[in-house]
């Protein structure tokens, strides 16, 4: 019993953070930005420079921020406002929305909700932009960035639950760097806010729901684009065995966009790779035959042919940047052909399979339980209510 009280308190701390509602997301993480434009789209923003209120910006106010000798120059079209170490753009409404466009280097317009804080990274050579945004709005942006806008509402409910679970399990990942999560696939892709009605509905209708395992721990909510017909157990990719990420046969994705792929490389490159990286005896013609004809007829394998060498397929996938480890190899003339199935690491939810299941009117709970075993949905809002009683 004591264990469950501790776990309930642990989850409660997440539930409070979900209702206290905001998260600090570093945006444009992978871009080295030296100058950008900020402009509100909805509402009024107060602009603070080093803690002092400088201006408020109504639509269509435009501010440009540029790095200059270890500090940030803030300008409008008309004038230079000043030089600062940090700037904050704080929305005065709950629906505040702004756009950002990188000027140096040239970048696309991206839109976000709520607040923005602007500083420089430690070496002062690029901006650190942090979007302080309500968690549920962030989840909407992630769901759209990770799965597009063409799926059905039922699918978006499930994807929202998984993205929320993933966030809460990784919520302190970047704390030492001054934010909580980044907007790159390292955490979860977050390219913009969402404006899609079904994505928003999927997030709203599952508000506070997360997935836990039998021990009430938040699960590693792994997902990938297409499994090619069979998902992969977590220990075969990450050497981490879990009770809920097992391999399942999946026929729902096998006719979808990313179900099949092909790639070819010169035979010489393949020989050199095996010999140099894996010390494979390619001069032995029988051995070379083995290495130029390979298939996985009875489902996914973990290793490439030679039982002694045991080259993990995931190593070959990484070295040749293949879409998946679920491939066969054959030689035609002076080329090696990879014929593959699926796209991604293959662990957990197969997005294209799950989208198809949702189109077939399966409920998000049925889809969840198909791809993850022995898991449970927990409503953090209910938990919070229960704890306050
Ligand atoms: Zn990250
Ligand atoms: Zn699949």
Q: Identify the weakest region by mean pLDDT among 112-116, 188-192, 377-381.
A: 377-381
What was the pLDDT predicted at 381?
A: 73
Q: Identify the weakest region by mean pLDDT among 189-193, 200-204, 305-309, 369-373.
A: 305-309
Mean pLDDT of 195-204: 97
| pLDDT one-digit tens code per residue, 322-348 | 999 999 999 999 999 999 999 999 999
DSSP for 77-90, written as a single string: SS-EEEEES-EEEE
Domain ranges of the chain: 33-125, 260-341
Mean pLDDT of the chain: 91
DSSP for 17-53, written as a single string: HHHH-EEEEEESTTS--SEEEEEEEES-EEEEETTEE
CA of 188 relative to ligand 1 center, distance in Å: 7
Residue 389 has pLDDT above 50, yes or no: no
Spatial separation of the C-alpha atoms in residues 202 and 155, rounded to whole Å: 8
Q: Identify the weakest region by mean pLDDT among 8-22, 119-133, 366-380.
A: 8-22
Residue 101 has pLDDT above 70, yes or no: yes
CA of 173 relative to ligand 1 center, distance in Å: 7
Spatial separation of the C-alpha atoms in residues 211 and 266, rounded to whole Å: 46
CA of 331 relative to ligand 1 center, distance in Å: 40
CA of 387 relative to ligand 2 center, distance in Å: 39
CA of 186 relative to ligand 1 center, distance in Å: 4
Predicted confidence band of residue 190 (pLDDT cuts 50, 70, 90):
very high
CA of 90 relative to ligand 1 center, distance in Å: 24
**56 by DSSP, 3-state: which?**
strand
Query: Which ligand is in closest contact with the Cα of 353?
Result: 2
Query: Which ligand is in closest contact with the Cα of 223?
Result: 2
Query: Which ligand is in closest contact with the Cα of 252?
Result: 2
CA of 368 relative to ligand 1 center, distance in Å: 25
Nearest to 87 by CA among 45, 32, 138: 45
The neighbourhood of ligand 2, an ion, using CB within 5 A, equals 227, 250, 253, 350, 353
CA torsion sign for 77, 81, 84, 90 is negative
What was the pLDDT predicted at 239?
A: 85
Predicted confidence band of residue 305 (pLDDT cuts 50, 70, 90):
confident
pLDDT above 70 as % of the chain: 92
Query: Which ligand is in closest contact with the Cα of 29?
Result: 1
Query: Which ligand is in closest contact with the Cα of 259?
Result: 2
CA of 349 relative to ligand 1 center, distance in Å: 20
Query: Which ligand is in closest contact with the Cα of 256?
Result: 2
CA of 372 relative to ligand 2 center, distance in Å: 13
**134 by DSSP, 3-state: which?**
strand
CA of 25 relative to ligand 1 center, distance in Å: 9
CA of 237 relative to ligand 1 center, distance in Å: 19
Residue 310 has pLDDT above 90, yes or no: no
Alpha-carbon dihedral 227, 228, 232, 236, rounded to 10 degrees: -120
Query: Which ligand is in closest contact with the Cα of 170?
Result: 1
CA of 222 relative to ligand 2 center, distance in Å: 13
What was the pLDDT predicted at 5?
A: 47
| pLDDT one-digit tens code per residue, 212-268 | 999 989 999 999 999 999 999 999 999 899 999 999 999 999 999 999 999 999 999
| pLDDT one-digit tens code per residue, 45-97 | 999 999 999 987 766 689 999 999 899 999 998 899 999 999 999 999 999 99
| pLDDT one-digit tens code per residue, 278-303 | 999 999 998 889 899 999 999 999 99
Query: Which ligand is in closest contact with the Cα of 342?
Result: 2
- Quickly list H helices, the chain: 2-20, 135-147, 153-169, 197-204, 234-238, 267-278, 285-291, 313-320, 351-359, 364-371, 380-388
CA of 11 relative to ligand 2 center, distance in Å: 31
pTM of the predicted model over 0.85:
yes
Query: Which ligand is in closest contact with the Cα of 355?
Result: 2
- Residue 260 pairs in a beta bridge with 341
Predicted confidence band of residue 124 (pLDDT cuts 50, 70, 90):
confident
CA of 4 relative to ligand 1 center, distance in Å: 30
Spatial separation of the C-alpha atoms in residues 13 and 306, rounded to whole Å: 49
CA of 170 relative to ligand 1 center, distance in Å: 9
Predicted confidence band of residue 1 (pLDDT cuts 50, 70, 90):
very low
CA of 29 relative to ligand 1 center, distance in Å: 9
């Amino acid at each position: 019993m004591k264990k469950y009280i501790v776990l309930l308190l642990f989850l409660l701390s997440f539930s409070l953070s979900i209702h206290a509602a905001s998260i600090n997301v570093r945006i444009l993480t992978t871009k080295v930005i030296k100058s950008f434009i900020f402009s509100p789209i909805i509402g009024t923003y107060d602009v603070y420079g080093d803690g002092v209120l400088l201006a408020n910006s109504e639509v269509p106010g435009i501010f440009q921020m540029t790095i200059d000798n270890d500090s940030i120059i803030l300008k409008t079209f008309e004038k230079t406002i000043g030089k600062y170490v940090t700037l904050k753009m704080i929305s005065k409404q709950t629906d505040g929305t702004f756009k950002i466009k990188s000027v140096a280097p040239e970048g696309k317009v991206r839109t976000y909700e709520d607040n923005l804080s602007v500083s420089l990274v430690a070496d002062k050579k690029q901006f650190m932009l942090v979007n302080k945004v309500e968690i549920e709005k962030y989840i909407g942006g992630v769901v759209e960035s990770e799965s597009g806008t063409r799926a059905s509402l039922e699918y978006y409910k499930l994807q929202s639950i998984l993205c929320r679970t993933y966030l809460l399990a990784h919520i302190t990942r970047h704390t030492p760097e001054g934010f909580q999560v980044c907007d790159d696939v390292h955490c979860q892709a977050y390219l913009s806010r969402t404006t899609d009605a079904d994505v928003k509905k999927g997030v709203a209708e599952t508000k506070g729901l997360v997935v836990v395992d039998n021990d009430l721990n938040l699960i590693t909510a792994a997902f990938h684009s297409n499994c090619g017909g069979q998902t992969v157990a977590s220990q075969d990719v990450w050497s981490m065995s879990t009770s809920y990420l097992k391999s399942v046969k999946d026929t729902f994705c096998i006719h979808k966009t990313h179900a099949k792929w092909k790639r070819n490389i010169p035979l010489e490159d393949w020989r050199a790779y095996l010999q140099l990286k894996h010390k494979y005896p390619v001069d032995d013609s029988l051995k070379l035959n083995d290495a130029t004809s390979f298939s996985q007829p009875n489902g996914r394998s973990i290793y490439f042919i030679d039982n002694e060498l045991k080259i993990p397929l995931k190593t070959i996938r990484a070295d040749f940047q293949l879409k998946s480890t679920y491939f066969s190899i054959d030689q035609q003339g002076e080329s090696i052909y990879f014929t593959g199935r699926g796209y991604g690491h293959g662990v957990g939810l197969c997005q294209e399979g799950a989208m198809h299941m949702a189109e077939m009117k399966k409920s998000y709970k049925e889809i969840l339980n198909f791809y993850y075993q022995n898991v449970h949905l927990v409503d953090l809002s209910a938990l919070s209510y229960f704890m306050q009683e």
